Chain A
C-alpha cells in the first residue's frame, strides 16, 4: 500500500479487499456454530385481520422441529411487543391482529433451514379479515378502518402533525409575490434492498447468562442497549457482533422481530439459532423508504428571485411508527427543504399516518428525509423555471447562496457550515458543456428526437448530531474512538460506527496514520464487536466521518500530545520547544533531535522517567459530540433520451460535482458517489414498492421491485470541489448518501425536460415506459399508485 502525497490521505487500496476478493468475508449466513438451529418466520398473507387462533401442533410434531414460538408464547415473557425507535410499539409476533401483509405471526426453530421452511406450512392460523387501508389519504379519511386499536386513546390513523418554519412570514411573502408556482408530487415507497438480506445468529449461554448476537446491524451498541431494555437482560452480559455486512443503506438499523425471535429461540432451546430472511421477507417487512406525498408551492419575483417556499406532506409510515431518526425530529430533517437557495421565508407541515403496510420510512440513504426535501425543492425550481420561461441552470445560479453568506442560517433554523455553490455549479456546467447540450437538444427536436437535460443542486446536513438537540431514545448521538499505540509503534483503533462497504478499515486507519505520522498498514481498525469497541450510535445518515472520524482525530491528537511530553523527556527538552513535523516531534530548528511515534511508544513503556502525572502509555479515548452537522453539497446534470413512441428513457450522461469537504480517500469517495447515482436512476425510472387496493404487496421480489443494472447506468462523470467544514477537526463532511439524495431530481427533471414539448409539466416516479407514455398522452397514472 502506497501512501498518498497528502500525508496518509489519498487513494489507498482497501485493506478489507483481501478477504472479500478471495471469498473469505464472513457474512451472517456464513456463520456456523456447533449445534446451531435454523429459524423461519410465518407471515400473514392478509394485510389486516383479527387472529382467531394459531395452531402449532402439527409443526411442533415435525421430527426436525425443536420449538415453535407464537405471539402467545412471547406474551408470557412480555416480549410480544417491542418499542420502536419512534416512541411507538411494534408487534414481534402478532397477538390480536395482523396489520400488514407479511407481518410476523409465528417462528419455527428446526435443525436445518429446509425443514424450518417445511414446518411453516404445518402451522394453521385462522384469520378474520378486516378491511385494509393502504392509501394514506384514505387512512386519514373519516370512517377509515382503525389500524392501531392496540393504542389507548388512538381514535384515527393519524400519528402526528409537525411543522417547521415561520408560517406568518411565509404567507406574507407569498401574498406579495409576483409569481407562485404549485406542484403536487409523490416520492413513492421504495426499499433499500441491500444485496444481503437481514439476519441474526443468537446464542444464549444458560450457564453464564451471556447472550451473543451476531447481527446485520449498522448500530451494534445501540442494539445492545435496546436488547437490555427490551429483553431485560443485563447489558454487560450481552455481546453484539456485526460481522461483514453486505450493504446496509439504512435497512439494517432497526431491530427486527426475527432477531428477537431468534434470541428467544436460543433461550428456549439452549442452542444457537440462526435466522436469515429471504428476499421477499426483506422487501415486504423490513424498513422501507420514502412514501411521501408532497404539495409544494414556490414564490418568486417575475425576474426569478425565489422568495419563499411552502410544503405540505402526507407521510405514510405503515402499520407501526418505526422510523429511525433523532427523537425531536419526527419528520427527520425534511425541513432543510429550502435547499441551497437564498429565501426569505419558508414553512412546512407534515402529517404522518398509519396504513396497512410494513413499518419504516427512514432508510435508503435518505439522510433523515433529506432525499424527500431535495426532491421537492429541485422539482419546484424546475417547475418555476418552466413557468417563467427561464433556463433551469440560469435560475439556479441566480438564487444559489453565495460563499460570503456562510455560515448561513436558513429560514427553518439550519446553520450551514460552509459552501461555494456557484463554483460547483459552474464546474458541472463546464464538464457537461451545458450550452452545447442545449444546442444539441434543439437540433435533436428538429429531427423528432427528444433529449432532456435535468439539473439538481443539493445541500445536505449530515453527521447527527449535537447531543443537546439529537438523541435516539434518549441516547445522545455522540460517538467514541479508542486508540491504543503498542510498544512497537503499531496502533489499534476501536470505533463505534459500522461499515457495510464504506471502507472504514482503510479510511479510519488513514485518519490515525495521518495524525501520528504512521503508515496506514500499521493501524488496525476494530469495529462491530461491542466487547471490543467504544459506545456509539452507529453508521447511517452519513455520520461516520463527521462524528466517529472526528472522534478518531481527537483521540489521535490526544495521543500525539501525550507523545510530545514523552518525547520531551526522551530529548531532555521542554515540551514547548518541540514541533510536530508530520512524522515526528522535533526540537525546533534541530532535525537531528526528533522522535517518531514508534520510538516514543517504546520509550513510554520503558523505564524512562516521565513527568509527574503522565502514565506510561500512548493510549487515548474520545467521545465526540459534534457542534453542528456538516453540510456537503453538489451539482448534478443528467442527459436523457426519451422515445415518445414507447416511453422508454435512456440515461446518456450523468455529470456529478460533489463537495464533501476534505477527502480522506478520493477513490472511496468516488465509489460512494457512483453507488448513489445508480440509486437515482433506479428510483427515477423503475423502483417502486407498490401495493394494490387490497393491500397485497406487489414488490415482493426482484422480478417486480426492479433495481438498475450496469446497462441502465451510464459511465458516471465525476468532479469535485473541496470546501472544508470549519468545525470538523480535519474539515471533512459526510458523503455516503449525497448522490442518492441529489440524483433522482436530476433524472426526473431531465425526463420532464425531454417531454415538455408535449405539454407535460410533471410526472411522478418511477418514470417507467408506461408512465412516461401516459404522461405524454395527458393521462397521469395517479400519485404513488402502480399503474392500472
Chain B
C-alpha cells in the first residue's frame, strides 16, 4: 500500500486553536478532518502538506439543527450522520438521497461534510446538492466570520474560497414550506464517483413553480448549478414537458469532459435526463399547492 511523505501533526483543542495553528504554520498546513479526501491524496503523494491540523476533537463543529429559519449543519458532521438525520430528511431529502450514494457506508462513518466540500472535487455530490439548495457556507478566520453562497464557494477544480488561514465551520440552508427535493445519480458501480448527477429542489406557488434550484455535478456545470434551467422553471407549470425542457437547458450549459466514465455526449445526456428525473421526484415530494390545484404528476 502506498504511504504518505513525512508530515508534522498538531491536534486542535478548539476552533480558535485550529485557526491559531493555521496562522502559525502558514499555507503548507492543512486541516485534517475525516481525512478520507486528504489522506488518499497524501498516500499517492499528490498532496504533501507540511503540517496537519487535526480537528476531529472539535465536537462543537459536529451538529445538525434548526437555527431559526435555517437548517445549520456543522462542517465536522460525518456523512453517516447526515444520512441518518431525520431532521435533514424531513426538510431536504435531497441531502439524504445524495448521502445514500456517496462513497460507501464505512467511509461515511468517518468522512465529513466539510472535508468533502473543501476537497472540491468536480464530481463531488454534496457540492451539487448544496448548490441546488442555494446554501450558504460559513467561514471562520481570526478576523471573524464571513458567509459565501454555495455557488460562489468553488473557484475551480480542487479550489475553494477558503483561504489558508481559514476554516469552513458551517453550512446553512433556508427552510421554506411547500418544497420538495431529490438527488439522482448515475455511477458505474455503487460507491463510484458520479458519471453524472443532478439535484433538484422546487417550491410551488399556486399552480406553478415559485422557486427552483438545480444542481449538477461531474458534468462541468458552472458553480455546480444550472442557473439557466432554474430561470426557465421559475413561474412554469410543473410537469414532464417542463422538466424535460429544463433538462435540455441544463445540458446545453454544461461542459462535460470525456473520460473513462463516459464520452461527453453521454454526460450531456445525463445532465438532461437526470435533471428531469430529479425535478420529477422533487415534485412528488412537494405538498400540494396552496390553492388546492394538484401539480402534474410526472412518470
Contact = CB atoms under 8 A, between A and B. Distances in A.
Is the A/B pair a real complex?
Answer: yes
Interface of A: 113-114, 117-118, 278-280, 645-648, 685-686, 690, 698, 703-704, 706, 708-709, 711-712, 768-770, 773-774, 777, 779, 781, 786-788
A763 to B, nearest CB: 13
Contacts of A648: 186
A54 B191 CA distance: 41
24 contacts: A113-B3, A117-B2, A117-B3, A278-B2, A645-B273, A648-B186, A704-B260, A706-B188, A706-B189, A708-B189, A711-B190, A768-B261, A769-B188, A770-B195, A770-B261, A770-B262, A770-B263, A773-B266, A774-B266, A777-B265, A781-B263, A787-B262, A787-B266, A788-B258
Contact of A690 (B2, B260, B265, B274): B260
A709 B258 contact: no
Contact of B263 (A113, A703, A711, A787): A787
Nearest to B186: A646
A446 to B, nearest CB: 15
A703 B273 CA distance: 25
B11 interface: no
A786 B262 CA distance: 8
Contacts of A704: 260
Interface in B252-274: 258, 260-263, 265-266, 269-270, 273-274
B192 interface: yes
Contacts of B258: 787-788
A786 B273 contact: no
A113 B1 CA distance: 10
A279 B263 contact: no
Contact of A770 (B1, B189, B191, B266): B266
Contacts of B193: 703
A751 B273 CA distance: 21
B114 to A, nearest CB: 22
A764 to B, nearest CB: 15
A779 B258 CA distance: 15
Shortest beta-carbon contacts, A-B, top 6? A770-B262, A711-B190, A770-B266, A706-B189, A786-B260, A646-B186
Given A706-B189, A770-B261, A773-B266, 8 more contacts: A278-B2, A645-B273, A646-B274, A709-B189, A712-B189, A770-B262, A787-B261, A787-B262
Contacts of A645: 273, 277
B50 to A, nearest CB: 15
B93 to A, nearest CB: 20
B294 interface: no
Nearest to A682: B189
B41 interface: no
Contacts of B192: 703, 706
Nearest to A772: B266
A278 B2 CA distance: 6
Nearest to A698: B260
B161 interface: no
B270 A646 contact: yes
Nearest to B5: A118
A436 to B, nearest CB: 27
Interface in B67-103: none
Nearest to B267: A770
Nearest to A710: B190
Given A646-B270, A770-B266, A773-B269, A709 B190 contact: yes
Interface centre among A645, A686, A703, A711 (most CB of B within 10 A): A645
Contacts of A647: 186, 266
Contact of B265 (A686, A768, A779, A786): A779
A648 B274 CA distance: 13
A686 B260 contact: no
Contacts of B1: 278-279
Nearest to A116: B3
A686 B189 contact: yes
A580 to B, nearest CB: 54
A787 B262 CA distance: 6
Nearest to B1: A278
B282 to A, nearest CB: 17
Contacts of A712: 189-190
A686 B2 contact: no
A683 to B, nearest CB: 13
Contacts of B5: 118
A775 to B, nearest CB: 11
A769 B260 contact: no
A20 B81 CA distance: 33
B216 to A, nearest CB: 15
Contacts of B269: 773
B188 A686 contact: yes
A768 B262 contact: yes
Interface in B214-266: 258, 260-263, 265-266
A772 to B, nearest CB: 10
Interface centre among B1, B2, B6, B190 (most CB of A within 10 A): B1
Contacts of B2: 117, 278, 280
A55 B92 CA distance: 58
A537 to B, nearest CB: 32
A769 B273 contact: no
Contacts of A113: 3
Contacts of A786: 260
Contacts of A118: 5-6
Contacts of B273: 645-646
Interface string B164-204: 00000000000000000000001011111101000000000
Contact of B262 (A279, A698, A769, A777): A769
Nearest to B266: A770
Given A686-B189, A706-B192, A769-B188, A788 B263 contact: yes
B123 to A, nearest CB: 11
Nearest to A197: B1
A280 B6 CA distance: 21
B263 A769 contact: no
B176 to A, nearest CB: 30
Contacts of B262: 768-770, 787
B191 A709 contact: yes
A689 B193 CA distance: 18
A770 B259 CA distance: 11
A779 B220 CA distance: 22
Interface in B262-294: 262-263, 265-266, 269-270, 273-274, 277
Interface string B1-29: 11101100000000000000000000000
B7 to A, nearest CB: 11
A111 to B, nearest CB: 14
Contacts of B277: 645
B198 to A, nearest CB: 11
Nearest to A277: B1
Contacts of B186: 646-648, 769
B263 A114 contact: no
Contacts of A769: 186, 188, 195, 262, 266
Nearest to B190: A711
A646 B263 CA distance: 13
Nearest to A774: B266
Contacts of A770: 195, 261-263, 266
B188 A787 contact: no
Interface centre among B6, B258, B262 (most CB of A within 10 A): B262
A258 B193 CA distance: 33
Contacts of B191: 709
Nearest to B273: A645
A706 B1 CA distance: 18
Contacts of A779: 265
B188 A768 contact: yes
A114 B265 CA distance: 44
Contacts of A768: 188, 261-262
B111 to A, nearest CB: 15
Contacts of A777: 265
A600 B1 CA distance: 53
A36 B6 CA distance: 22
A39 to B, nearest CB: 14
